[in-house]
Amino acid sequence: MSQPILHMHDIGRTYRQAESELRVLSGAQLALWPGESVALIAPSGAGKSTLLHLAGLLERPDEGEIYIGDLPTANLDDAERTRLRRLEIGFVYQFHHLLPEFSARENVMLPQMIRGLSRKVAHQRADEVLVYLGLGDRLTHRPAELSGGEQQRVAIARAIANSPRLLLADEPTGNLDPRTADHVFDALTHIIRVTGLAALVATHNLELAARMDRRVTLREGQVVELD
Protein backbone atom coordinates (compact mmCIF):
# COMPACT_ATOMS: atom_id res chain seq x y z
CA MET A 1 0.00 0.00 0.00
CA SER A 2 1.28 3.43 -0.89
CA GLN A 3 1.45 5.95 1.94
CA PRO A 4 2.25 9.66 2.12
CA ILE A 5 5.93 10.57 2.21
CA LEU A 6 5.08 13.54 4.40
CA HIS A 7 2.06 13.66 6.65
CA MET A 8 1.56 16.71 8.84
CA HIS A 9 -1.20 15.91 11.29
CA ASP A 10 -3.05 18.54 13.31
CA ILE A 11 -0.09 20.86 13.49
CA GLY A 12 -0.08 23.85 15.81
CA ARG A 13 2.72 26.40 16.02
CA THR A 14 2.70 29.54 18.11
CA TYR A 15 5.51 32.08 18.28
CA ARG A 16 5.82 33.65 21.69
CA GLN A 17 7.08 37.19 21.72
CA ALA A 18 7.65 39.43 24.71
CA GLU A 19 4.11 40.73 25.02
CA SER A 20 2.09 38.62 22.65
CA GLU A 21 1.57 35.26 21.02
CA LEU A 22 1.25 34.66 17.31
CA ARG A 23 -0.55 31.48 16.34
CA VAL A 24 0.81 30.79 12.87
CA LEU A 25 -0.50 27.24 12.40
CA SER A 26 -3.56 25.74 14.04
CA GLY A 27 -4.83 22.27 13.19
CA ALA A 28 -2.90 22.26 9.90
CA GLN A 29 -3.08 19.06 7.86
CA LEU A 30 -1.04 18.16 4.81
CA ALA A 31 -0.19 14.89 3.09
CA LEU A 32 2.23 14.59 0.19
CA TRP A 33 2.26 11.41 -1.86
CA PRO A 34 5.15 9.92 -3.87
CA GLY A 35 5.67 11.71 -7.18
CA GLU A 36 3.37 14.55 -6.17
CA SER A 37 4.27 18.21 -6.55
CA VAL A 38 2.36 20.72 -4.46
CA ALA A 39 2.61 24.49 -4.73
CA LEU A 40 2.22 26.51 -1.54
CA ILE A 41 0.89 29.94 -2.41
CA ALA A 42 0.17 32.43 0.35
CA PRO A 43 0.92 36.07 1.15
CA SER A 44 4.04 37.01 3.02
CA GLY A 45 3.67 36.36 6.73
CA ALA A 46 1.03 33.64 6.31
CA GLY A 47 3.36 30.92 7.59
CA LYS A 48 4.90 29.33 4.49
CA SER A 49 8.43 29.25 5.87
CA THR A 50 7.15 27.96 9.19
CA LEU A 51 5.36 25.10 7.43
CA LEU A 52 8.47 24.27 5.37
CA HIS A 53 10.74 24.40 8.42
CA LEU A 54 8.42 22.06 10.30
CA ALA A 55 8.16 19.67 7.33
CA GLY A 56 11.95 19.75 7.05
CA LEU A 57 12.37 18.90 10.74
CA LEU A 58 14.21 22.16 11.30
CA GLU A 59 11.60 23.25 13.84
CA ARG A 60 9.28 21.31 16.11
CA PRO A 61 5.52 21.86 16.22
CA ASP A 62 3.86 22.79 19.53
CA GLU A 63 1.05 20.39 18.70
CA GLY A 64 0.53 17.55 16.29
CA GLU A 65 2.71 14.97 14.64
CA ILE A 66 4.82 14.96 11.51
CA TYR A 67 5.36 11.61 9.83
CA ILE A 68 8.13 11.00 7.32
CA GLY A 69 6.86 7.84 5.68
CA ASP A 70 5.49 5.83 8.60
CA LEU A 71 7.92 7.30 11.13
CA PRO A 72 6.53 9.79 13.67
CA THR A 73 9.14 12.48 14.34
CA ALA A 74 7.83 14.40 17.37
CA ASN A 75 9.67 12.28 19.91
CA LEU A 76 12.90 11.81 17.97
CA ASP A 77 15.98 13.46 19.45
CA ASP A 78 17.97 16.05 17.50
CA ALA A 79 20.55 13.54 16.23
CA GLU A 80 17.83 11.28 14.84
CA ARG A 81 16.05 14.23 13.24
CA THR A 82 19.30 15.38 11.63
CA ARG A 83 19.97 11.89 10.31
CA LEU A 84 16.46 11.64 8.87
CA ARG A 85 16.79 15.09 7.31
CA ARG A 86 20.07 14.15 5.62
CA LEU A 87 18.70 10.91 4.23
CA GLU A 88 15.15 11.78 3.31
CA ILE A 89 14.82 15.52 2.74
CA GLY A 90 16.31 17.91 0.18
CA PHE A 91 16.06 21.69 0.43
CA VAL A 92 16.17 24.36 -2.26
CA TYR A 93 16.13 28.00 -1.19
CA GLN A 94 15.54 31.27 -3.03
CA PHE A 95 19.25 32.01 -2.89
CA HIS A 96 21.34 29.02 -3.81
CA HIS A 97 23.67 28.99 -0.76
CA LEU A 98 26.32 27.13 -2.74
CA LEU A 99 29.80 27.17 -1.21
CA PRO A 100 31.71 29.74 -3.28
CA GLU A 101 35.15 28.15 -3.06
CA PHE A 102 33.96 24.76 -4.34
CA SER A 103 33.07 23.67 -7.87
CA ALA A 104 29.57 22.65 -8.92
CA ARG A 105 30.65 19.02 -8.67
CA GLU A 106 32.14 19.46 -5.19
CA ASN A 107 29.02 21.27 -3.96
CA VAL A 108 26.97 18.23 -5.00
CA MET A 109 29.52 15.77 -3.58
CA LEU A 110 29.61 17.33 -0.11
CA PRO A 111 26.20 16.28 1.26
CA GLN A 112 26.89 12.75 0.04
CA MET A 113 30.25 12.62 1.80
CA ILE A 114 28.71 14.04 4.98
CA ARG A 115 26.28 11.15 4.75
CA GLY A 116 29.24 8.76 4.63
CA LEU A 117 29.58 7.87 0.95
CA SER A 118 33.08 7.55 -0.51
CA ARG A 119 34.59 10.34 -2.57
CA LYS A 120 34.48 8.11 -5.64
CA VAL A 121 30.79 7.26 -5.34
CA ALA A 122 29.88 10.88 -4.51
CA HIS A 123 31.87 12.10 -7.54
CA GLN A 124 30.10 9.70 -9.85
CA ARG A 125 26.66 10.54 -8.53
CA ALA A 126 27.36 14.31 -8.64
CA ASP A 127 28.34 14.10 -12.29
CA GLU A 128 25.33 11.97 -13.10
CA VAL A 129 22.87 14.41 -11.53
CA LEU A 130 24.56 17.52 -12.93
CA VAL A 131 24.66 16.06 -16.45
CA TYR A 132 21.03 15.15 -16.05
CA LEU A 133 20.23 18.78 -15.21
CA GLY A 134 22.08 19.97 -18.30
CA LEU A 135 25.24 21.07 -16.49
CA GLY A 136 27.66 18.53 -17.96
CA ASP A 137 29.95 21.26 -19.23
CA ARG A 138 29.89 23.19 -15.93
CA LEU A 139 31.13 20.49 -13.54
CA THR A 140 34.31 22.26 -12.50
CA HIS A 141 32.94 25.81 -12.50
CA ARG A 142 32.62 27.65 -9.22
CA PRO A 143 29.28 29.32 -8.40
CA ALA A 144 30.57 32.78 -9.36
CA GLU A 145 31.35 31.44 -12.86
CA LEU A 146 27.77 30.24 -13.35
CA SER A 147 24.61 32.11 -14.35
CA GLY A 148 21.74 32.48 -11.85
CA GLY A 149 19.78 29.68 -13.50
CA GLU A 150 22.82 27.39 -13.53
CA GLN A 151 23.52 28.12 -9.87
CA GLN A 152 19.95 27.23 -8.99
CA ARG A 153 20.15 23.99 -10.99
CA VAL A 154 23.32 23.08 -9.05
CA ALA A 155 21.36 23.78 -5.86
CA ILE A 156 18.66 21.39 -7.08
CA ALA A 157 21.33 18.78 -7.91
CA ARG A 158 22.74 19.19 -4.40
CA ALA A 159 19.26 18.83 -2.86
CA ILE A 160 18.60 15.54 -4.64
CA ALA A 161 22.14 14.13 -4.47
CA ASN A 162 21.24 11.82 -1.58
CA SER A 163 18.04 10.67 -3.33
CA PRO A 164 15.67 12.15 -0.75
CA ARG A 165 12.02 11.14 -0.71
CA LEU A 166 10.90 14.70 0.07
CA LEU A 167 11.95 17.94 -1.59
CA LEU A 168 11.14 21.28 0.07
CA ALA A 169 11.64 24.49 -1.82
CA ASP A 170 11.17 28.08 -0.66
CA GLU A 171 10.75 30.42 -3.64
CA PRO A 172 13.28 28.45 -5.72
CA THR A 173 12.81 30.68 -8.77
CA GLY A 174 12.09 33.92 -6.89
CA ASN A 175 15.45 35.38 -7.72
CA LEU A 176 15.44 34.57 -11.46
CA ASP A 177 14.15 36.31 -14.57
CA PRO A 178 10.96 34.75 -16.00
CA ARG A 179 12.66 32.75 -18.76
CA THR A 180 15.32 31.34 -16.48
CA ALA A 181 12.70 30.63 -13.82
CA ASP A 182 10.75 28.67 -16.40
CA HIS A 183 13.82 26.63 -17.29
CA VAL A 184 14.75 25.89 -13.67
CA PHE A 185 11.15 24.99 -12.92
CA ASP A 186 11.11 22.54 -15.82
CA ALA A 187 14.20 20.89 -14.37
CA LEU A 188 12.52 20.69 -10.98
CA THR A 189 9.24 19.18 -12.20
CA HIS A 190 11.13 16.72 -14.41
CA ILE A 191 13.16 15.50 -11.43
CA ILE A 192 9.99 15.09 -9.36
CA ARG A 193 8.35 12.97 -12.08
CA VAL A 194 11.27 10.66 -12.77
CA THR A 195 12.40 10.11 -9.17
CA GLY A 196 8.97 9.78 -7.57
CA LEU A 197 9.91 12.14 -4.76
CA ALA A 198 7.26 14.39 -3.28
CA ALA A 199 7.78 18.15 -3.42
CA LEU A 200 6.35 21.10 -1.55
CA VAL A 201 7.27 24.35 -3.27
CA ALA A 202 6.43 27.77 -1.85
CA THR A 203 6.10 30.20 -4.73
CA HIS A 204 4.52 33.49 -5.71
CA ASN A 205 4.66 32.51 -9.36
CA LEU A 206 1.12 31.47 -10.23
CA GLU A 207 2.05 30.40 -13.74
CA LEU A 208 4.59 27.93 -12.40
CA ALA A 209 2.26 26.84 -9.61
CA ALA A 210 -0.36 26.00 -12.25
CA ARG A 211 2.01 23.37 -13.64
CA MET A 212 2.18 21.48 -10.35
CA ASP A 213 -0.20 18.68 -9.33
CA ARG A 214 -1.94 20.61 -6.55
CA ARG A 215 -2.05 24.08 -5.08
CA VAL A 216 -2.59 24.87 -1.42
CA THR A 217 -2.67 28.04 0.64
CA LEU A 218 -2.68 28.92 4.34
CA ARG A 219 -5.82 30.36 5.86
CA GLU A 220 -6.23 31.00 9.58
CA GLY A 221 -3.41 28.62 10.31
CA GLN A 222 -4.76 25.79 8.20
CA VAL A 223 -3.69 24.31 4.89
CA VAL A 224 -6.48 24.84 2.38
CA GLU A 225 -6.70 23.40 -1.14
CA LEU A 226 -6.95 25.95 -3.97
CA ASP A 227 -8.79 25.50 -7.34
Where on the chain is the footprint of ligand ADP (CB under 6 A)?
A: 15, 17, 22, 24, 42, 44-50
Which C-beta is closer to ligand ADP: that of 29 or that of 163?
A: 29
Please, what is the minimum distance in Å from the beta carbon of residue 14 to ligand ADP?
9
Please, what is the minimum distance in Å from the beta carbon of residue 219 to ligand ADP?
12
Which C-beta is closer to ligand ADP: that of 124 or that of 217?
A: 217
The answer to whether 173 and 185 have CB atoms below 8 angstroms apart is yes
Which C-beta is closer to ligand ADP: that of 45 or that of 196?
A: 45
Please, what is the minimum distance in Å from the beta carbon of residue 51 to ligand ADP?
7
DSSP class per residue in 72-121: E-TT--HHHHHHHHHHHEEEE-SS----TTS-HHHHHHHHHHHHT--HHH
Please, what is the minimum distance in Å from the beta carbon of residue 163 to ligand ADP?
27
Which C-beta is closer to ligand ADP: that of 48 or that of 153?
A: 48
Sheet containing strand 21-32, edge to edge, reads 21-32, 6-16, 63-68, 71-72
Name which of 197, 200, 167 is nearest 91 in CA terms: 167
3-class DSSP state for residue 24? strand
